[in-house]
Amino acid sequence: MPNKIEIFPPYEKEKVSIISVLERIDKKARFVRQSGPPGRFASIDIVIEPYEGSIIFENEARIQEDLKGDNEWELGFPMIICAIFDALKSYIQNSYDEHNLAIGNFKFKLINIDIHKYDSKLMDYKIATLIGLKEVFKV
């Protein structure tokens, strides 16, 4: 069962024109750090789809098979999801503050997270999320 969280936008819905999502968009968002050894990356699969009257974050991602039983990653996995959620909230806020765009009426589904056991970092997932959202919303 997916986890759903409503995101309350930084604007009053009845006082702005909201840029809505009109169709489903599947996106693989990836960030590869240029410093350090190869393999440092964050990769997420997301779906953005119409959702009337609100902004919803939905998690369908599960820890990948090769990390099951690894206590460090099983404890760290929820922090990655939180980092992605925080990036989404930040993107909505910054779009409104910096570009005067009220983005809304969509569901952000986190489908999959690819983790490199030794090199993936929380900030990388935030950056990957922001890259994916910029490509979807073209802001």
Q: Domain residue spans in the chain?
A: 3-137
Q: Are strands 55-59 and 18-20 parallel, antiparallel or unpaired?
A: unpaired
Cβ contact 28:45 at 8 Å: yes
Residue 1 CB burial class (10 angstroms; 0-12, 13-18, ≥19)? exposed
Class of domain 3-137: alpha beta
pLDDT tens digits in sequence order for the chain, 139 residues long: 558 999 999 999 989 999 999 999 999 999 887 766 655 678 999 999 999 989 999 999 998 888 888 888 888 899 999 999 999 999 999 999 998 999 999 999 999 998 877 777 889 999 999 999 999 998 6
Cβ contact 104:18 at 8 Å: yes
Residue 121 phi/psi, 5° resolution?
Answer: -130, 155
- Sheet of strand 106-114: strand arrangement: 3-7, 55-59, 106-114, 41-50, 25-32
pTM of the shown model: 0.90
